[in-house]
A and B are shown apart, each in its own frame.
Chain A
Amino acid sequence: MTLQGPIGGPGYGDVRPRPMFFLSFILHALILSVILFIPAFPTPKWTFGPVYSVQLVDRMPSLARNEAEIPFVGQGQDTRQSVRSVPMRKTADFRDLTPIRRINPGRQPSVEVQQALDAIRKGSQRPVRQTPTAPVVTPAGSGPAMSVNESEREQRMQSYYSQVWKRIKKKWTYPPGVVPPENLEAVVDLQVLRNGAVVNVKFERRSGNRYFDESVLRAIGKASPMPPLPDMPGDNSMDIGIRFHASDLP
């Protein structure tokens, strides 16, 4: 096949464009995927440590009643709208961060949206209440409001991660005096199957101390099997990475 540029223009003549076309397509695809990569680095890290809440602005109580206590404003969210039924928590609760469209209670909400809101509310009640509570960093790429199904899936995932975190943390022990009080860190990758079985436990990074690494593997062993994966389409297994860290306190 031949293409002809405008008569007299640069493309004029019988030039075979296929290699150029190919090259241009590959370059575009590469650039596009790099743009897709950038939000994925740094990889989302979920930590369920102690939550410290700081009151930065002294707010008058009258204001709080009419405005939603949204911890921070995501892009494109309307802060003038408020939801009467969102529970007001004392500490900064980042669980409410899942960006869902908030509706004006003056308007009659449609039935489906109301049901979806109930499901999400139920989902946000389930996770751990006792300390340490979980400040969850939303994964990158969730800026614009997601559909309600995806946010419900997010809630389930968060709850599941929280359960896995709790189980392993509870079982991570070693006797005093065996591991030196230094800053040690190990990262382990594992896979959780649909029924909760833990497979493919591998070190992504070792700490350098044999007994620390042993204790980390034993913690995972003692915490296994995990609860079954939450009901989700696709996904017969879940890949989780765990970063174990001990500071240099004696």
Chain B
Amino acid sequence: MYRAIKWMILIALVIISFSGWVWGRVYLDIDSPTLQKIPIAVTDVLTLTNEQWGKGTDTWLSGNLSAALELTGLFQSIPKEAFLEDQKPRPFSVDTIHFEDWSAIGAEYVIKGRFNVLPGGREMVVTWRLFDAVERKMVLEKQCRGRTDNRGDLVYPFVDDLLNALTGERGIFDTRVAIVQKKGSTWRVISIAFDGTGLASLMAGDALVITPRWSPDGKQLAYTSYQDGQPALYIRTINGRQARKIASFPGINLAGPWSPDGRKLLMTLSKDGNEEIYVMELKSGRLDRLTNHPAIDVSPTWSPDGRSIAFVSSRSGAPQIYVMNSDGSNIRRLTFDGPYNSSPAWSPRGNRIAYEGRKDGFFQIFTLETDGSKLVQVTSGSKNHESPTWSPDGRYLAFGVRDGGAYSICVSNSGGTGLRVLYESKDPCRSPIWSPRLSSSHILEAQPSISSLLTR
């Protein structure tokens, strides 16, 4: 009898304490995170060789790194005056760094570096380390080697790896923007790096050149030129002098973008009566017509998966943007706001299309979802903004700006913030086209790196 009662009491206690446990946890609801740049501290790079080589290089390296990080629009460099860490020992590893000194000033990440000038004095090796001050660990280490004044080799490869570790996408420091410029009587296609430096001429001549288009591997350029007297379509390699003629039909032959696999080229031809969109298979030369309408159809752009094409058509009475399948079927109108919309550019992320649209007398850049929703105005002001082009990671837009007699090419984040001038000139320059990633290191190999964020 008593044994039975003991068991009953035991079971009752178990059941009641069980219910108490379920009752215990309270949940808090937190929504709306704050969008804020990542606060990062970049320390001066310490030299391991003779002190005299260190003069100026330590700040030159850290200064360029800070500038590159700020250029991405994702980071906020903490000023050096705020640093609490002792300058003398300059700890370099997880065990020796006092992370409290860094989180106390609000730094979420800390970058440290060591450099070594190689014998001969012309090249150096920099070892960069990225530390996470919140989780107190090293995220990434990278060695860069290059000429002592070449930040492209010494700084940017590390920034690329850093961006890959923290945001999942490499930076775009190895991309360039091609621009058409008329200097006097010479027409040039120039290219400029993402940070505004490294101006180079891709081609120059007396003949009018328009609509340059990078191939997906960055090695060739398609464009339309009047060099043979009529607007014909050419393709040339970036460094070569030879150009081969691809299309020279009667009427206009306007170069359009390459397909994502590089095998086809879109073009606008007027050989069949009025401007229509065609696609040519480059190897065989086979031409397929995509649009068939008495209105003007121009300015095609491919979706990143190659399955859709957006273009401009005046079939509604004024230029508006339409979308169709890559075989020309299923044409539907995309833009309904504004009296004049053209120059569509499809984001490499696939979800949005940028275009120029007339509003209140001036052209502005807009973006909207591919289903036509969520229209965003990217630029504003009493100037004309034209020809938007996306960066390969879909984060930035470059476009031409015309303000009376002043011409410039500007870059901003896809939402419109962080506007800066990439190139400006008194000579007309227009038609910016963003290149794909140009360095071979963007081809990701399966590398075991210390990017330990991946292990979670």
Give the B-binding residues of A (Cβ under 8 A).
1, 18, 21-22, 25-26, 29-30, 32-33, 36-37, 40, 43-49, 139, 141, 157, 161, 164-165, 168-169, 172-178, 187, 189, 210-211, 213-215, 218-219, 221-222, 239-247, 250
Q: Are A175 and B74 in contact (CB under 8 A)?
A: yes
Which A residues are CB-close (under 8 A) to B73? 175-177
Bound-state Cα–Cα, A18 to B18, Å: 25
Residue in A221, A240, A241, A245 whose beta carbon sits within 8 Å of that of B134 in the complex: A221
Once A222-B103, A250-B376 are accepted as A-B contacts, the answer to whether A169 and B19 lie under 8 Å apart by CB is no
Contact A242 B167 (CB under 8 A): no
14 A-B pairs in the complex with CB atoms less than 8 angstroms apart: A1-B1, A37-B22, A40-B23, A168-B28, A172-B34, A173-B36, A175-B75, A210-B168, A213-B456, A240-B28, A241-B25, A242-B30, A245-B30, A250-B415
Q: How far is the CB of A214 from chain B (nearest CB, A)?
A: 7
Contact between A245 and B395 (Cβ–Cβ < 8 Å)?
Answer: no
Residues of A within 8 Å of B4, CB to CB, are 18, 21-22
- What is the chain A residue whose CB lies nearest that of B75? A175
Is there contact, CB below 8 Å, between A175 and B35?
A: yes
Chain A positions within 8 Å of B26 at CB level: 43-44, 46, 139, 157, 161, 239-241
Give the size of the chain B interface in residues (CB under 8 angstroms): 46
Give how many A-B residue pairs fall within 8 Å (CB-CB).
144
For A43, the chain B residues whose CB sits under 8 A away are 25-27
Bound Cα distance A242, B23 (Å): 16
CB distance from A94 to the nearest CB of B (A): 15
Q: Is B37 an interface residue (CB 8 A)?
A: yes
| Assembly CA distance A219 to B34 (angstroms) | 11
Q: Which residues of B contact A40 (CB under 8 A)?
A: 19, 22-23
The reply to whether B74 and A178 contact each other, CB–CB distance below 8 Å, is yes
Let me know if B33 is at the binding interface, CB within 8 A: yes
Task: Tell me what chain B mostly uses at the interface: helix, strand, loop, or mixed.
Answer: mixed
Q: Which residues of A contact B228 (CB under 8 A)?
A: none
Bound-state Cα–Cα, A80 to B395, Å: 63
Q: Which residues of B contact A218 (CB under 8 A)?
A: 108, 134-135
Say yes or no: A241 contacts B27, CB within 8 Å.
yes
B31 at the interface (CB under 8 A from A): yes
Does chain A have a CB within 8 A of B440?
Answer: no
The answer to whether residues A244 and B11 also contact, given A40-B22, A40-B23, A250-B376 and a CB cut-off of 8 A, is no
Q: Are A169 and B30 in contact (CB under 8 A)?
A: yes
CB-nearest residue of chain B relative to A185? B31
**In the assembly, what is the distance between CA of A187 and CA of B26, in Å?**
12
Pick the residue among B28, B37, B103 that contacts A241 (CB under 8 A): B28
Complex alpha-carbon distance, A165 and B414, angstroms: 32
Whether a CB of chain A sits under 8 angstroms from the CB of B67 is no
Q: Is the CB of B34 within 8 A of A45?
A: no
Q: Does B446 contact A (CB under 8 A)?
A: no
Q: Which of B8, B28, B395 has the most CB of A within 10 A?
A: B28
A14 to B29, CA, bound (A): 61
Q: Interface centre among A29, A48, A165, A240, by most B CB within 10 Å? A: A29
A235–chain B nearest beta-carbon distance, Å? 10
* Closest beta carbon of chain B to A101's beta carbon, Å: 24
For residue A43, which residue of chain B has the nearest CB? B27
Query: Cβ of B12 < 8 Å from any Cβ of A?
Result: yes
Specify which of A25, A164, A187, A213 lies most central, judged by the most chain B CB atoms within 10 Å of its CB. A25
Chain A neighbourhood of B7, CB < 8 A: 22
Contact B376–A247 (Cβ < 8 Å): no
Q: Does B16 contact A (CB under 8 A)?
A: yes
With contacts A211-B167, A218-B135 taken as known, whether A174 is within 8 angstroms of B27 at the C-beta atoms is no
Q: How far, in angstroms, from A187 to B456 measured CA to CA in the complex?
A: 16
CB distance from B17 to the nearest CB of A (A): 10
Question: Chain A nearest CB: distance from B321 CB in Å?
Answer: 20
Cβ distance B372 to chain A, nearest Cβ, rounded Å: 16
Residues of A contacting B33 with CB < 8 Å? 172-174, 215, 219, 244, 246
Give the distance to chain B from A157, nearest Cβ to Cβ, in Å.
8
Q: Is B25 touching A189 in the complex (CB atoms < 8 A)?
A: yes
Q: Which residue of B lies closest to A141 (CB)?
A: B23
Cα separation A47 to B30 with both chains bound (whole Å): 7
User: Of all chain A residues, which has the CB nearest B8?
Assistant: A25
Residue of A nearest to B395 (CB): A177
Which 9 pairs, one residue from A and one from B, show the smallest C-beta to C-beta distance?
Answer: A47-B29, A173-B36, A241-B27, A245-B31, A175-B74, A172-B33, A176-B35, A221-B134, A173-B34
